Chains A and B, each alone.
Chain A
Amino acid sequence: MKKVFSRTSSLRDVDTHYCSGCGHGIAHRLIAEAIDELDIREQVIGITPVGCAVIAYNYWNFDCVESPHGRGLAIATAIKRVRPQNIVFTYQGDGDLAAIGTAETIHAANRGENLTVIFINNAVYGMTGGQMAPTTLIGQKTATSPRGRDIGNEGYPLKISEIVAQLPGVYSVERVSCDSPKGVLKAKSAIKAAFKNQMDNKGFSLVEVLSACPTYWSLTPADSLDWMQNTMSKEFPLGKIK
């Protein structure tokens, strides 16, 4: 009898503060698994965000630097330029990466920085109480769109991955979804590839991970997976964008 699935060493054996069924826990594990499989733990520097994942550095077993809200890619740029021997990645929510940090995101991508970006799209601001995010779906009810997001008032869900993919400096962009075991395994290979790209000096790689926030979707964790499959992935189609 062999152990075929267990916690990897880059993920600490501690409880997280995340809600039951929260996708952040899955994404954290996938990053840790990718790092251990590539054997780069001693080289990795993670840039943690402001958002529910603000203390992700307590859950990972490698070096991290905490960023002010949205500024992850500015910090990552500086670290990677000064220490090109390190493997530098950012972990950012949709509020962090696609609202307050839009400028940092677009310009780091446009400069073609040799970085890995893990973008967690849960279609809301989780940490601050479930407000509307740029990625909130049309009609989705949030604390600040109580009647549902209305395009006349709030515009369309921002497809930052598709926007970034247009930039010549960007090497790879992929959208995955942690909505099933198969989806989670696909997410893991995309994350691993995005780290490998940086190791091979290929340039800017972004993985957008559709991730459940059962609390502010007002759904059970199980129904959240169905919503991701049936609704969210229609607005945010999965697959390789670049």
Chain B
Amino acid sequence: MAHIKIKRDKCKGCMLCIKVCPKGQLKEDSVLNKKGIKPVVFLGQDCTGCTFCGVICPDTAIEVYK
């Protein structure tokens, strides 16, 4: 199944990936990363591998597998 990997400590918590994911596959984590911000986590039920989250991420924190 398609899925993504998030580099937690690269994430700056802009939430742009949450905004653009057509499937609602991402949410804000409750635990801080090394930068001291809440990164995003992958929910991973029906990711289509569309790459939108990776394409919009300004910090190249997302890898997409399909």
Contacts and interface: CB of A to CB of B under 8 A. Distances in A.
B63 interface: yes
B20 A21 contact: no
Interface string B37-66: 100000000000111101111111011111
Contacts of A11: 60
Interface stretch (A2-10, A145-153, A160-168): A2-10
A15 B14 contact: no
Interface string A1-45: 111111100010001101111111110010000000000000000
Interface residues of B, number: 27
Contact of A181 (B18, B20, B59, B66): B20
Interface string A166-188: 00000000000000110011000
B23 interface: no
Contacts of A100: none
B23 to A, nearest CB: 13
Contacts of B60: 6-7, 11, 25, 29
Contact of B65 (A1, A15, A23, A220): A1
B51 A5 contact: yes
Given A2-B65, A2-B66, A21-B12, A15 B59 contact: yes
B48 to A, nearest CB: 11
B63 A3 contact: yes
B16 interface: yes
Most central of A5, A15, A24, A26 by chain B CB within 10 Å: A5
B65 A4 contact: yes
Contacts of A225: 16, 19
12 contacts: A1-B66, A5-B51, A6-B64, A15-B10, A15-B59, A20-B37, A21-B58, A26-B57, A26-B58, A181-B50, A221-B15, A222-B16
